[in-house]
Amino acid sequence: MKLLWKKELRSIDKTSPDDIIKLLLENRGITDEDNFINPPSPLTVSIEHFNKSYSTSLKRVFKLLEQIKKENKTVVVYTDYDADGITGGAILWETLHLLGFSAMPYVPHRVTEGYGFSVKGLNTVKDKFAPALIISVDHGITAEQKIAHAKAQGIPIIVTDHHLKSDVAPTSAFAVFHIFSKAIFDHFSSVIPSISEGFSSADAGANFADAGFLANARNDNMKKLQHNFSHDYISLASIGTVADLVPLLGVSRSVVATGLKEFSKMKRVGMKELLLQAGIEHKEISTYEIGFVIAPRINAIGRLEHAIDALRLLCTTDAKRARELTDKIGKRNTERQDLVAQSIEEAEKKLQAPSFKLQEKKIIILSSSTWHEGIIGLIASKLVEKYYRPVIVMTKSGPNYKGSARSIPAFHITNSLRKHKDLLIDVGGHAQAAGFTLESTKLEQFQETLTRYADSKLTTDDLIKSIKADLKLPISFITKQLVEKIR
């Protein structure tokens, strides 16, 4: 492991704790110290913050929603099955419900339908709900073909997503709100933005001039929404933001900083039961509790069964139902932990086999016919952590292989996979995480091609884990005052 630092201070340097704080902020590229140390409330954020052109799209969305409300037709919130999708989907579905819409949530099954839109999933939604509109949460930006399929059947789709765009834009969508690397709260804000601002600002009523469905909503529901946007929804949004490893800067920082404080005021019974089961009901919630205690429980049910139960837990108002769902999710989380441990053991045997030649590999590619599809991303994460090189883990899924990849900063895994998209059925993701589907007949060719590509792009130095510290400083500089300032 390499230890690097951006700046070194010496004993003879005249440096105060305030000077050190300034250096820390400069190193992180923070130019607005006050907003960083004291993030503004996310309730002040409007759609123009992200893209001024979204206002025009939003007017069309409001008109469509108004027509749907008048005709009492159904809106389906089609959300991803991971923690960021579940929390964002819960916020959007519950808001539409409280505004008086006939709204239904839909979460695809990880194994039988896969990530995001699928023809199978869209056909199921059509047959079950006959929706007048589908709104995606945390997916859809790469799904032009599927969106066109829905459009051909007379179902408009609004896309809210933050993943990398593909070469083919979703032009068949009714509206697209693509906010890259932003908080899940923004996904929701993309569709009905500034609704919280409308509650807190006397002048914000003009934002909803075209949204008559707001004026027609029941007054007690509007009061509940006002409370939710100021409290519960921000906490839910903070879960999605932390779970998806979004950098805590800008709006995302505001969401998390505010959301963490609101956990102590959380009144929804599902979250209270979840915190109770995890043994953190009286603890001050930090990003650690979200990342390692809360989010894994929300994710667990979707990895092994169906994530709709996680969404139900977040939205239920029945205490008995909340306990039942929490017990079920707790059991699945334990099963998930055991399954990952067992699968990691199997993966290690493959890696240590003499024929694998691990020491020569710049990328690790493993496949199995037995690993559970819901945990292959976790297997990849564990192996990246241990061996510090890109890892691709695949498992048999029907006639194909489903793959999950995790990577290191020197290797953009999604772009790398897209460079070889001719081998893949589909692919999507971020710089250091991706998911894809591969035809079984192309497995060997895929392994050989990606291995050669990684060999050509990665150097030996890229595979040495490094810690890049902000400062190297004498121990005499470490004072209680400095510790408090950093805190």
**Each residue of 366-383: pLDDT tens digit?**
999 999 999 999 999 999
**Each residue of 34-48: pLDDT tens digit?**
889 999 888 877 766
Report the 3 state secondary structure along the chain. Answer: CEEEEEEECCCCCCCCHHHHHHHHHHHCCCCCHHHHHCCCCHHHCCHHHCCCCHHHHHHHHHHHHHHHHHCCCEEEEEECCCHHHHHHHHHHHHHHHHCCCEEEEECCCCCCCCCCCCHHHHHHHHHHHCCCEEEEECCCCCCHHHHHHHHHCCCCEEEEECCCCCCCCCCCCCEEEECCCCCHHHHHHHHCCCHHHHHHCCCHHHHHCCCHHHHCCCHHHHHHHHHHHHCHHHHHHHHHHHHCCCCCCHHHHHHHHHHHHHHHHCCCHHHHHHHHHHCCCCCCCCHHHHHHHHHHHHHHHHHHCCCHHHHHHHHCCCHHHHHHHHHHHHHHHHHHHHHHHHHHHHHHHHHHCHHHCHHHCCCEEEEECCCCHHHHHHHHHHHHHHHCCCEEEEEEECCEEEEEEECCCCCCHHHHHHCCHHHEEEEEECCCEEEEEEEHHHHHHHHHHHHHHHHHHCCCHHHCCEEEEEEECCHHHCCHHHHHHHC
106-110, 161-165, 245-249 — most confident range: 106-110
pLDDT at 14 (0 to 100)? 86
- Whether residue 352 has pLDDT greater than 90: yes
pLDDT at 163 (0 to 100)? 81
pLDDT at 184 (0 to 100)? 40
Query: Residue length, the chain?
Result: 487
pLDDT at 442 (0 to 100)? 97
- Whether residue 200 has pLDDT greater than 80: no
CA distance 34 to 8: 25
**Each residue of 373-428: pLDDT tens digit?**
999 999 999 999 999 999 999 999 989 999 999 999 999 999 999 999 999 999 98
- Name the phi and psi angles at 77, rounded to 5: -95, 105
**Each residue of 478-487: pLDDT tens digit?**
999 999 999 8
pLDDT at 43 (0 to 100)? 80
Q: Which pLDDT band holds residue 212 (cuts at 50, 70, 90)?
A: low
Query: Tokens representing 138?
Result: 């945390």
Strand 433-439 versus strand 400-406 pairing type? antiparallel
pLDDT at 180 (0 to 100)? 53
